[in-house]
Amino acid sequence: QVQLVESGVGLVQPGGSLTLSCAASGFTLDYYALAWFRQAPGKEREGVSCISPSDGSTVYADSVKGRFAISRDNVKNTAYLQMNSLKPGDTAIYYCATTKAGGVCYITDPADYDYWGKGTQVAVSS
């Protein structure tokens, strides 16, 4: 049974940093694409970043490029999202998601992903 569990909920001041974790079970993380999405109140779910299973290549939304970094630890079967220089606009519920589809990952459509965690709240405020 595929399960994803996010952790790292927090209230952070603008300019601060936070690392989110996504613990995977029921499958081997490095064989699947892993993505982070986020959803702010009143807005659609949007892709933040993903990491491909084959070569570990990464994709980032323009809004987080240069500030966020996605990674995975194959031994711990856990993915991470390191978030730096946080802005109030980063406030959202963050979800990790995975898909059995191979190849290069994308973050354009949440429907591309089959399995989702329950999400973790990130608030950026002074």
In angstroms, rounded to a whole number, what is the distance separating the alpha carbons of residues 71 and 81?
Answer: 7
- pLDDT, position 55: 84
Using the predicted structure, report yes or no on whether residue 101 has a pLDDT greater than 80.
Answer: no
Structural contact between residues 79 and 69, judged by C-beta atoms closer than 8 angstroms: no
> pLDDT tens, 69-99?
999 999 999 999 999 999 999 999 999 999 9
> pLDDT tens, 5-14?
999 878 999 9
| Secondary structure of the chain in HEC code, one letter for each residue | CCEEEEECCEEECCCCCEEEEEEEECCCHHHCEEEEEEECCCCCCEEEEEECCCCCCEEECCCCCCCEEEEEECCCCEEEEEECCCCHHHCEEEEEEEECCCCCCCCCCHHHCCEECCCEEEEECC
In angstroms, rounded to a whole number, what is the distance separating the alpha carbons of residues 56 and 70?
Answer: 10
